[in-house]
Structure 1
Amino acid sequence: MLPASTFVLGGAASGKSEWAEKFIESYDLPMIYLATGQIFDDEVAAKVAKHKNRRDGRWETIEEPLDLAPALASLSEKQAVLIDCATMWLTNHMMQDSDLSTEQDALIEALTACRAPWVIVSNEVGQGIVPENALARQFREAQGRLNIALAQQAGLVVQVVAGLPQSLKGRLP
């Protein structure tokens, strides 16, 4: 049986998004891609295009960089949603100078209330060196707290390293 809630964690370019896309296809439900990224430069535009090219016409894309609750609330149990990614969502809120604790609580509440099975992707940022500047340290701490909260919420937690999934919580189907 597939889990109702899955958290996929990995380093940059670890294969986590591609693995999550393939995993959510196994639900055999209409798929929603809830995209949190914002395009500010050519490098990000190329990355977004790469992600879009991997998905086919079976995916419906909803672009929402900040307020995920309305999109999650609109889904039914007859759909499956991939949120890619929590790291960009957090970055967007940091750039908006949002109250990160309030936004994190709202996200967790929205995921709890979501009727559709969900998969959320996030970056692991705590295994590197301590950043030299205050903003980067603030981000690393906030991402760590968000990842902990998402892992607690999810029934299945998967770490992807070099494209290979490892279950940290629950069992891979």
Structure 2
Amino acid sequence: MKIVFISGGVRSGKSRFAEKLAQKASLNSVGKLQYVATGVPTDPEMESRIQRHQQDRRLDSWNTIEQATDIRVVAKHFQKTDIVLLDCLTTWLNNEFFIGGEKRGEHIRAKMVEDIEMIARSCHTLILVSNDVFFDAATDSEVVLTYKKVLGKIHQQVVERASEAFHVECGIPIVMKGVT
């Protein structure tokens, strides 16, 4: 079981880097490239981003599974040799808060970390993509503060378990943990 964590700002190139990393890992595996997409088309911009990501993956041999909440249910689709890319934790957390109907941050955090561990045990390599939202403008909104607190704890727990962690800026991956 190998976990790779990739974070970065919006439009930093983190998804493209994650896809390239997954494709490279698949060269040394007999498993499939699996893509877990958490995005929900809630507005025209998100619809466009989802379509762009889908088009990018059509060029390669990805099996895409779209799952907005309760990510653990997709673990049954994977083999121990598969390379799984989950994009992205921030969208998934948002979905759990607002689509999943669960509002308690600590419960959501524990559930998501359990789901991540379940998927990691079901495949060869799990690559997780997440947005770095911690430098965004400060807000007094209780929901936003709770969201950032939960996301920060998830990031810490995932990176602790990860063998590699990267931060992507301007399309350039910066190694935070491990070596490639």
For normalisation by structure 2, the TM-score amounts to: 0.87
Structure with bigger helix share is: 2
Moved more, 160-169 or 130-139: 130-139
Counterpart of 2:139 in structure 1 is 131
Please tell me whether residue 51 in structure 1 is matched to residue 60 in structure 2: no
* Deviation, structure 1 residue 57: 4.4
For normalisation by structure 1, the TM-score amounts to: 0.90
* Deviation, structure 1 residue 112: 4.3
RMSD: 1.7
User: Aligned partner of 2:51: which letter?
Assistant: A
1:38 to 37, 40, 45: 40
* Aligned counterparts of 1:142 and 1:92: Cα–Cα separation in 2: 13
Deviations 1:88-131 (A, max 9, x none): 11000011332313322422431442233110100111123322
Counterpart of 1:115 in structure 2 is 123
Counterpart of 1:151 in structure 2 is 159
Deviations 1:2-30 (A, max 9, x none): x8220001111111001100111002242
Aligned residues: 170
Contact persistence 2:72–2:116 (CA under 8 A): no
Contact persistence 1:37–1:89 (CA under 8 A): yes
Counterpart of 1:7 in structure 2 is 5
**Unmatched runs of 5 consecutive residues or more in structure 2:** none
Please tell me whether residue 167 in structure 1 is matched to residue 175 in structure 2: yes
Contact persistence 1:73–1:113 (CA under 8 A): no
User: Aligned partner of 1:97: which letter?
Assistant: G
**Unmatched runs of 5 consecutive residues or more in structure 1:** none
Counterpart of 1:102 in structure 2 is 110
Counterpart of 1:76 in structure 2 is 79
Counterpart of 1:23 in structure 2 is 21
* Aligned counterparts of 1:53 and 1:124: Cα–Cα separation in 2: 25
Please tell me whether residue 140 in structure 1 is matched to residue 143 in structure 2: no
Change (3 A) 1:112 1:32: closer
2:96 to 93, 106, 116: 93
* Deviation, structure 1 residue 53: 1.5
Identity within the alignment, %: 26
* Aligned counterparts of 2:175 and 2:94: Cα–Cα separation in 1: 26
* Aligned counterparts of 1:101 and 1:60: Cα–Cα separation in 2: 27
User: Aligned partner of 2:41: which letter?
Assistant: I
SS in 2 for 1:26: helix
User: Aligned partner of 2:45: which letter?
Assistant: E
